[in-house]
Amino acid sequence: MIITDSKNVLFENCTLKDTGEFSLINISSSSEVTFSRCTIQNNWTDSEYSPYLFSIDSISSNISLENSIIRDNRTGKFLNNQNKLRLLNNQFIGNAFDEEVTTFEEGLKIVWHRKIGVQSWRNNALIVGSYLFIGSSGQKWNEPDMADGIYAFDIKTGKQIWFVHSQNDFNDLAYMEGLIIGGSDAGEVFAVSAMSGKVKWQQKLDAKVYAKPAYLDAGVAVATGKGKLFLLNLNDGKVIDQVQLDGGVRAGMTAKGTNLWIATESGWVYQLTAFGTFNSWTKIKVFYPDSFGRQLNESELPTGTMKYSYLGKEVGFSEARFYAAPLILDDKIILGFVRDTYYSYPAVVAISSQHSGTKIAWFGSDDSQKLGDTFGNIRFTPSEYKDLLIFGNPYSNKAYALSKQDGTLVWETSLGQPMFQHWPSPVVHGDYVYIARHDGYLHKLRAKDGKRMWSIFLGDSESAGLIFRSEQDLPGENLRTQWSPLRASPIFATPAVSGKYIVIGTGEGDLYVIEQSSE
């Protein structure tokens, strides 16, 4: 296609497909040319003469490509002069362009994506150097199949380095001294060479292993769904010690040095110390203020609980349940918890670590009732930014931040379609926070005030990559709250961010690696 000496030209809903040209679209001496909602697919160019999909001369101006799909094209380069083409809300999928081209206006591009099986809330990417490791729940979540296991990729190219099969869905991974270690729904714990994919050892435990293994001075701590805590030898996987906890462990484990904090499904929070074995521990049972709860005396509650009874309107209390890893601060342990329904205050508790982890520092609060009775269950770990704790919010379309000091609401932001479910943890990187939501979108917010920078749709592999800038309204904000998207795939997993790369998997089974040119 040659466009010359033209002005105010609109190509809308056009299709350029299966064509071989010296350059597919050659624009000269023209201005105000727009390609909108077009499909440019499976084209190729003669690399000896003009290896560009778009060739625009120096005289032309105001050339735009927007809301279009550029897919499976085989050219040496996408564009001869990036300053000459304005790109807006396009999807680049499976093209063979040079690395430095095909950037979005916002500095975003999907570098590559792969079908690797369902990415559940425990399938969170682990980035180590230039390698990406991730567990898969296979073709059928909660059922064994041949796609269950651990994948290793080159994060830049998407080349699969190795795959280790497991007998059921594989869950969170940890890196320890050259090994990738994780557990499965079959109760297997694998230690795999990060470079070769060779299984160094394997240990069968008493129940499903959901939680990310913890790296201690004494070895590898692994907890099971039946509440048994194991200390394994890092060299051979043999059991060094084991302790029975009160309640199963889903994801509630965080380590630091010789100390290990564990939160269980029955509402207990443990702090253990390991010197060769599990030597000592303290524990606290958390109750939350609940107008539907039991009448309890102050002596039956952890210190500091009773003064927050006003949050429950009447003086009643119920047992909290924990499904996520604690966030360990200098003087506090922060935990989201699960309740029987939704409430007018966030399901967040801070435990004072200065009192041997046995005193309640605060419960989250929204005294101004900005979010009303929309605070649902928290099955994820909040993210810390300076003096803030940042959350996604179930039963709504909100993200919000609480004060680390006293748990009061600081800011809140609306993010598209209201959804009952929310599983991913927010991830702070620099001065921004990344939040994936159940409606299939990934959002970048300014951490200090929640201002949305951009949102990218990933809920359908055929349409992934559509971007909404900060000044554009997100679809679905005025719709009723839904349990699941009507069509799109939810995002259960937590994104991983390292340098310029953002990695996220979807319930549809797609793993995306997104590159942003700058923060």
Please indicate, yes or no, if residue 209 is contained in any of the structural domains. Answer: no
SS3 311: helix
Residues 6 or more apart whose Cβ sits within 8 Å of residue 262: 223, 229, 245, 249, 252, 253, 269, 270, 272, 326
- pLDDT at residue 53 greater than cutoff 90: no
Please indicate, yes or no, if residue 188 is contained in any of the structural domains. Answer: no
- pLDDT at residue 21 greater than cutoff 80: no
Closest alpha carbon to 231 in 200, 255, 265, 267: 255
Residues 6 or more apart whose Cβ sits within 8 Å of residue 133: 125, 126, 127, 150, 151, 152, 153, 173, 175, 180, 194
- pLDDT at residue 440 greater than cutoff 70: yes
Contact 235, 242 (CB under 8 A): no
The token duo for 239 is 């059991």
The token duo for 488 is 């799109």
* Confidence label for 353 from pLDDT (cuts 50, 70 and 90): confident
- pLDDT at residue 187 greater than cutoff 60: yes
Buried b or exposed e, range 210-221, using 16+ CB within 10 angstroms: bbbbbbbebbbb
3-state helix, strand, coil in the chain (%, to 5): 5, 50, 45
- pLDDT at residue 41 greater than cutoff 70: yes
The pLDDT tens digits of the residues spanning 198-233 come to 999 999 999 999 999 999 988 999 999 999 999 999
* pLDDT for 103: 41
> Considering the chain, what percentage of its residues have pLDDT values greater than 70?
95
Alpha-carbon distance 282 to 511, whole Å? 40
Long-range contacts for 137-143 (Cβ within 8 Å, ≥24 apart)?
Answer: 137/169, 137/170, 138/169, 139/509, 141/169, 141/507, 142/169, 142/185, 143/168
* pLDDT for 46: 63
Please indicate, yes or no, if residue 457 is contained in any of the structural domains. Answer: no
What's at 187, amino acid-wise?
Answer: G
Closest alpha carbon to 409 in 448, 364, 379: 364
Contact 286, 269 (CB under 8 A): yes
Pairing of strands 427-429, 85-88: unpaired
* pLDDT for 101: 40
Please indicate, yes or no, if residue 423 is contained in any of the structural domains. Answer: no
- pLDDT at residue 519 greater than cutoff 60: no
pTM for this predicted structure: 0.80
Please indicate, yes or no, if residue 122 is contained in any of the structural domains. Answer: no
Please indicate, yes or no, if residue 243 is contained in any of the structural domains. Answer: no
Give me the domain span that covers residue 69: 2-102
Instruction: Work out the average pLDDT over 53-77.
Output: 86
118 or 281, greater pLDDT = 118
Please indicate, yes or no, if residue 338 is contained in any of the structural domains. Answer: no
Closest alpha carbon to 193 in 182, 181, 202, 184: 181
Total domains present in the chain: 1
**From 92-96, 353-357, 397-401, 431-435, the region with the lowest mean pLDDT:** 353-357
Please indicate, yes or no, if residue 142 is contained in any of the structural domains. Answer: no
